[in-house]
A and B are shown apart, each in its own frame.
Chain A
């Protein structure tokens, strides 16, 4: 496979995962903002998902519509869903002959939907959940189409590596910012706060089934970092990156493979053999930051060894 093609597939996939994460998170935070929580603020969201300066963020952090508009349809915000989908589509467009026609059309439709000016208007006036649902569904269509139609070759491996790398980083980010917002106070028993955190990454129901004793920050960390059955946990994401990278093993490019395989294996072991206690001992922030940096390094190594073409 061409290095440029692998690069584009990888980034297309990362952008799609990012868009999905942002949309879900917006939906739940919107619900949270309507739940009569006096102190609800969009601050953590703006901090994780945008490059907005502190001052600007403070200014709109209590203006739900402004935040939604900024995060979804703003053309200036380079991390708005509109711009992320545009980038995913640009990547897809340059590798149209490597993704199925169905997948391309699905992504292309997504692009036209999110660019439609009607969407921007509705986001201002109508029920935002309806609009976010339309976009989330389009993302689901993308995942389904990818799963049903794409051949299980090298391209599929790069798509999944991109997807799970992005997801791992995103889960670490969400967890970190949400905890920083309460100053890493593990004694906090504010049920609603944790409930919405879990909801925003589709982990609420699993939490209820796993832990019978109500909300405990430790359990929240355990599920989001260490539960290997939770598809958004860091452990699960890293495990998938590892699994799909294994598929790239070949006689050619052996050295590069072994190097990156070692890096991923080390991260996987690090997460797998952590416990909530060991994480707490190290400090949650330092721990999450370490993992994020390790994952970024994998990205850089892929760039150097697999995607270099210019």
Chain B
């Protein structure tokens, strides 16, 4: 029973919501196993019980097996150093993150509501602009956003759908309340990890999934494929759907190939496509074949060298004209960046009220616009309690965490801000909930977030019950991004 020891050593920060343990105050002085198990939340109890029956050697073996499976399947990213590629795996923690049916229902409703409003906002902002005329969102906020593309103006996308695939980042504050951290409406990545992490769990913990009533995530590629097919502008029973990748050197290449494989569609690069007479074709061994729907994983900026970045080697010349003529569907729509901009984010609750006449279900993290002098002053006075982000960056780049930055770093960053305040926002540091991780034979609480993936088609919005739980593996760290030392966990959503 070494593992009960492993459980007893689990000490949670009292100011943090822990996904597994209830009120940590009560653990004080207790050492018996029963007492400890009592404090484990119901949804985690079967897993903790299961782990207690295993020795540390067995658990280590499971961890080793998980690593080997990732490596052998090539679920890796390549780090190029001294002219040679080294294969690395994204760290995976073997203990699942578990979400109850009630929690999930709440998340699901909240995300659906939010996406409905965001999609309406995109349609509005690229057409009639009622929301700007009514003064709900300031005009300058939209026009100063680099991702607002005038090329999309006055163009009706099929089914008025702009956001087909969304990855919405959620975090939990100290009392367990869910907050929306970020909306990712352009090319959200990570869904292959949702799928692969689950496959790994099946291998390392046989029978644990069915006995816990965990809902399946395997339907994701099928739903996505069905949605993509339904967008085809050509009336044909078997439209050509492709996934467009920047190529094998892209860090998400594994994901692109996984999605293409699971949907049974072609994975293409820009150089495989050619535009002729406003139609997109792919170059095959039997000549040109028309393409109807493109799920692109190439950013707007690189999509068409004739319209956007002229140096792009990843795109297809003329694709934008084919898109505007309605001869090809592009997923997600071009120009979505204006809706997931970190400064526009502040206005999403207002959008929900404006378009849907509903109260937002999921809350925003309070956000200060540094373009706004009063708010900037407030932020500058409280830098230690703030996290400051650039509005158009993602992946954890260009951030300043006020509580851990030196005075020098802070004053340098302030100078940066003053150069162009519109490009920055600040949020009070939210502590993020913690979840148990298996580390060197012990359970340790580490901070997590949650990214569920929503698929929007002509039939409505579907969210596969699961998602990607990212975890900050460094002790005390609040940054979960993989580029900043983050890992991931399998995410379980329990059925009723």
Contacts and interface: CB of A to CB of B under 8 A. Distances in A.
A88 interface: no
A259 to B, nearest CB: 14
A109 B285 CA distance: 30
Contacts of A109: 72
A93 to B, nearest CB: 6
Contact of A93 (B74, B84, B271): B74
Interface in A108-133: 108-109, 112
A168 B283 CA distance: 29
Please tell me the size bucket of the interface on B. 20 to 34
A78 interface: no
B73 A6 contact: no
Contacts of B272: 2-4, 309
Contact of A250 (B71, B271, B286): B286
Contact of A101 (B71, B261, B286, B287): B261
Contacts of A93: 74, 248, 253, 257
A250 B286 CA distance: 8
Q: Considering the complex of A and B, which 5 residue pairs feature the smallest CB-CB distances, nearest first?
A: A252-B286, A96-B257, A97-B261, A97-B260, A108-B74
B271 A309 contact: yes
Nearest to A251: B286
Given A90-B248, A309-B272, A105 B73 contact: yes
Interface string A236-254: 0000000000001010110
A104 B73 CA distance: 8
A36 B175 CA distance: 80
Interface stretch (B5-13, B262-270, B302-310): B262-270
16 contacts: A1-B284, A2-B285, A3-B283, A5-B266, A93-B248, A94-B247, A96-B257, A96-B267, A97-B261, A101-B73, A105-B74, A112-B71, A250-B286, A307-B285, A308-B283, A309-B272
Contacts, number: 68
Interface of B: 71-74, 84, 87, 247-248, 253, 257-258, 260-261, 265-269, 271-272, 282-287
Contacts of A1: 284-286
Given A2-B266, A2-B284, A3-B284, A108 B257 contact: no
Interface of A: 1-6, 75, 90, 93-94, 96-97, 101, 104-105, 108-109, 112, 154, 248, 250, 252-253, 306-310
A253 B289 CA distance: 12
Q: Which of B284, B285, B286 has the largest number of chain A CB atoms within 10 A?
A: B285
Given A2-B266, A96-B261, A112 B282 contact: no
A1 B287 CA distance: 9
Contacts of A248: 285
A3 B285 contact: yes
B73 A108 contact: yes
B287 A252 contact: yes
